[in-house]
Amino acid sequence: MEISAALVIVQKYGGTSVGTVDRIRNVARRVLATQRKGHDVVVVVSAMSGETNRLLGLAQQISPIPDERELDVVASTGEQVTVGLMALAIHAEGGKATSLLGHQVRILTDSAFARARIQDIDVQAIRKAFAAQKIAVIAGFQGVDKDGNITTLGRGGSDTSAVAVAAALKADSCEIYTDVDGVYTADPNVVRNARKIDRISYEEMLELASLGAKVLQIRSVEFGMKYQVPIHVRSSFNDHEGTWVVPEEKAMEAVLVAGVTATRDEAKITLSGVPDRPGVQAEVLRPLAEAGIVVDVIVQAHIQNGRTNLTFTLPSADLARAKDILLKQCAGICPPEQLKSEENLSKVSVVGVGMRSHAGVALKMFEILAKENIHVHLISTSEIKISCVIEGKYAELAVRALHDGFGLAAGA
C-alpha cells in the first residue's frame, strides 16, 4: 500500500520496543517521521518490558488472590509511565504530543476487571490532538468503566486497544510493531525456508493466532475483522513492509494453505466405557471448566452396549489436576481403571481460506504425515483449518513436511 495523501495511522509498540529510555527515543523518531509525511498519528504503547510483571509481583506479595479492581489500578500504571515518557521523548525530538490515559480518551469498557471488553471509544480528544498538530500517545491495555473505575483488557491487550482506536477513528491502517518482520507461513525457528506472508485474511489470522502464532492477540484480530481495520504487522527495527491482515480477497482462495502451525505441551485424556446418554459429556467437562481448565480438541467414538469413549486434549500443566478432579467428581461415570492419559503431544494445523473451495486438503495432510511415519492420535477440522494431534517429538518434523508438501517454501 503506497502512502500518498494525508492518512490517519495508528501505531502500536509493545513492551520490548519501549523497554529502555533509548528505545522510547527511537520510537519517538519513527512516529515523528510518519507525522512529517503529513499524516495524523496515534501511538498506542505498552508498559516497559518487565514492568507489568514487577507490578503484579508486588500485588501478589500482598495478596495471593488479589481483588481485580485494585489489581487493575496497580497494573495500569505501567502504561501510564510509558505514555508520559513517550510524549516527553517526542517533545525532546522537536515534535508535539499529548498523552491520553484510558479515562482521558474515554475507552469505555465493561466492568470485568483484568479482562475487560471495549464497548465504546470517544475520538474527540484524539481529534483535538490532531487539530493541534499533536501526536496522540494513548495508553494501551487500559480502559474505564461507566462508573469511572480503571479496567485492563488482559495480557496483550494493547493490540486490542490499538485496533479498537483505529476502528473508532476509521483509520487508514493500524500498524502493530513487533520484533519480527511479519506473519510467516510457519515458525522460522522450525522451518528455515518459511516465507513472510504479504496478505492474510482475518479468518486465517484468527486460526493462526489461536493455534500458537504469537504475533497478534486474538481479540485484536476479531476487532479488526468486525470493523474491517487493515492491520499491518511489521518490525520496529526496520522499514520493510510486513504482513497485512485484511478482509478476504479473491486471490487468497487460489492459495490452498496459508500457514502451518503447531502447539506444544498438550496432553490427552481418554475415558472409555462412558454411558452413552444425553448430557454425559457436560457432566465430565463441567467440573474441569469450573476449575479453569481449558479443554481443546474433543472427540467421541461409539462403541457397543450403549457405552462410548470420550477423548479430549488439554494443556500438560493441567493434566494432574484434571485427573484428580475427574476421579473424585466423575467416579460414577468412569471408574479409575477406565481413565487413561498421555502427555507430550502436539497439535499441528494447516490453515487457509482456500480450503473452502478445494477438496482433498485433509487427505493430502494425512498422506504427508504418513510418509514420515507420524501416527495421528486425534483429528479436528473447521472450515479453514485441519488439526492433527501427534506425538510431541514429531512436531518440528511434521511442520517442515507439511510446509514443504503444501508448497509454502520461499521461492516455491
Which residues lie near a second copy (CB under 8 A)?
A: 21, 24-25, 55, 58-59, 61-63, 66-67, 69-74, 76-77, 80-81, 83-85, 87-89, 91-92, 98-99, 101, 103-104, 148-150
| Cα angle, residue 135 at apex, residues 129 and 137 outer, rounded to 5° | 95
Alpha-carbon gap, residue 136 to 105, rounded angstroms: 10
The type of residue at 4 is: S
What is the identity of the amino acid at 282? A
For residue 301, the minimal CB distance to a second copy (Å) is: 48
Q: Which is nearer to a second copy, 148 or 336 (CB)?
A: 148
Closest CB to a second copy among 99 and 201? Answer: 99
CB of 102: closest distance to a second copy in angstroms? 11
What is the spatial distance between Cα 184 and Cα 214, in angstroms, rounded to a whole number?
Answer: 11
> Can you state the angle between helices 68-75 and 77-92, rounded to 10 degrees?
20
Distance of closest approach, residue 55 Cβ to a second copy, in angstroms: 7
Nearest to 201 by CA among 392, 355, 359: 355
CB of 30 vs a second copy, minimal distance in Å: 15
Angstrom CA distances, 298 to 57, 62, 380, stand at: 36, 39, 8
Tell me the residue type at 98. T
Q: In what order do the strands lie in the sheet containing 150-152?
A: 118-121, 107-109, 142-144, 150-152
Q: Do residues 85 and 128 make contact, with C-beta atoms less than 8 angstroms apart?
A: no
**In the numeric block, which cell numbers belong to residue 243?**
504482513
Nearest approach, Cβ of 95 to a second copy (angstroms)? Answer: 11
Complex with a second copy: residue 68 or 253, whichever CB lies closer:
68
Nearer to a second copy, 85 or 200 (CB): 85
- Would you say 68 or 248 has its CB closer to a second copy? 68
**In the complex with a second copy, which residue's Cβ is closer, 56 or 379?**
56
**Closest distance between a second copy and the C-beta of residue 150, in Å?**
8
User: Rounded to whole angstroms, how far apart are CA atoms 151 and 117?
Assistant: 9
Comparing CB distances to a second copy, the nearer of 139 and 167 is 139
Q: How far apart are CA 240 and CA 232, in angstroms?
A: 11
Nearer to a second copy by Cβ, of 61 and 238: the residue is 61
Q: Which long-range contacts (CB under 8 A, 24 or more apart) does 185-190 make?
A: 185/258, 185/259, 185/260, 185/403, 185/408, 185/409, 186/259, 186/260, 186/261, 186/399, 186/400, 186/403, 186/408, 187/213, 187/261, 187/262, 187/399, 190/262, 190/396, 190/399, 190/400
Give the shortest CB-82-to-a second copy separation in angstroms: 9
Residue 132 Cβ vs a second copy, minimum distance, rounded to whole Å? 13
